[in-house]
Amino acid sequence: MNDKALCRSCGSQDLEIFYEVGDVPAHSVLLMPTRDTAVSYPRGDIALAFCSNCGFIANVAFDPCLLEYSQQYEETQGFSPTYGAFARRLAAHLISRYDLHDRDIIEIGCGKGEFLALLCEIGGNRGVGFDPSYVEGRLNGATRHPVTFIKDYYSEKYADYHADFFCCRMTLEHIQNVDEFVGIVRRAIGQRKDTTIFFQVPNVSRILRDLAFWDIYYEHCSYFSVGSLARLFARHAFDVLDVWTDYDDQYLMLEAVPGCATSAEEQRDDILDLARDVITFQRNCPAKISKWKEQLRSIRESHQRAVIWGSGSKAVAFLTTLRVERAIGYVVDINPHRHGTFLAGTGELIVPPSFLKEYRPDVVIIMNAVYRDEIGKALDELDLSPRILTL
């Protein structure tokens, strides 16, 4: 690590690297049209460092120049009924808690716009979504309420777009200068004290405790716990109303309003717990990686047909960390936009579930336990009963 590396959340120098993976694909959900593009895609290194001052965890080897968030960025999880139900439940919660009716909503990093459309549809609101990877015509049916999309990163230059509610889901973890970014949002809100913000990010405490090495990938350069997320917003004069976990503890959600209190910094002090989790992860993760390597080698050596279910970033991180070649035949995904493309890094072809009818896999490795029932049902419908392994 560069001696001068500073925590991008609190500015402290108290950073300690505890996990490294070299040479991983810079992007994991960008659509790769050929196997060659997939395996030769630009790579970078991961060196996760823990800040013992504020609890923030970051990839200090991250180089933002390697990333491109174009329309080829295919991140949506909206094709999963499990995820769809979660998104609807979350939208209904936010609408009811903050009385979001006939309001202006900004979503930063809105992806293909599904969640913003949901907030506008259910609550009768007006929305503006920012995302360079937005694609026109992907929303099913026009929403009855006005939603505008701006194909750009949200920045200072959009500070004159006012909103009653700011929403930012699964975006902050892609941003390197998190302190600067939260500052931009805070300045955009200015003195409008009746504005509410909602942020959703992966929960690093769960990643550390579950030794979930598949949840650490290049696109995610910033990792938060309940405490480190609350402290970042408190430092920018937000009063944090609530921080909670959802989706099997995988996501962290923060609700806040502009305030003045930095005293909230003292709340949710989880730094000692985090430091302990970091040490446990550092100590036990290598054995977990070895165990999975063994599993994949044994699948390959016994000539079993194995597929991975879920072609998102977890699959890329799982396979590029393990580096066991020729163990996995295909990667299955229910998102039709990904079919016929290739997994970044290792180059497996992404196929629809119906492909398995003929391929008849012996083993299916599920990338997220949350989808275990949904995938089990799909396999039943295909009349298949492979051995199922779940991360």
Residues that bind Zn ion (CB under 5 A): 7, 9-10, 12, 51, 53-54, 56
Which of 329, 373, 372, 370 is closest to 351 using CA atoms?
329
Q: Minimum Å distance from CB 227 to Zn ion?
A: 11
Q: Which is nearer to Zn ion, 83 or 224 (CB)?
A: 224
Q: Which is nearer to Zn ion, 208 or 350 (CB)?
A: 208
Q: Minimum Å distance from CB 166 to Zn ion?
A: 23
Q: Minimum Å distance from CB 349 to Zn ion?
A: 42
Which of 208, 203, 222 is closest to 276 using CA atoms?
208
Q: Which is nearer to Zn ion, 7 or 328 (CB)?
A: 7
Sequence-ordered list of residues with C-beta below 8 angstroms from that of 218, at least 6 positions apart, any chain: 24, 25, 26, 27, 28, 44, 46, 59, 62, 66
Q: Minimum Å distance from CB 141 to Zn ion?
A: 45
Q: Minimum Å distance from CB 55 to Zn ion?
A: 7
C-alpha dist (Å) from residue 6 to 201, 315, 369? 22, 31, 35
Q: Which is nearer to Zn ion, 12 or 298 (CB)?
A: 12
Sequence-ordered list of residues with C-beta below 8 angstroms from that of 29, at least 6 positions apart, any chain: 73, 74, 75, 219, 311, 312, 313, 316, 344
Q: Which is nearer to Zn ion, 131 or 265 (CB)?
A: 265
Q: Which is nearer to Zn ion, 9 or 28 (CB)?
A: 9
Q: Minimum Å distance from CB 360 to Zn ion?
A: 51
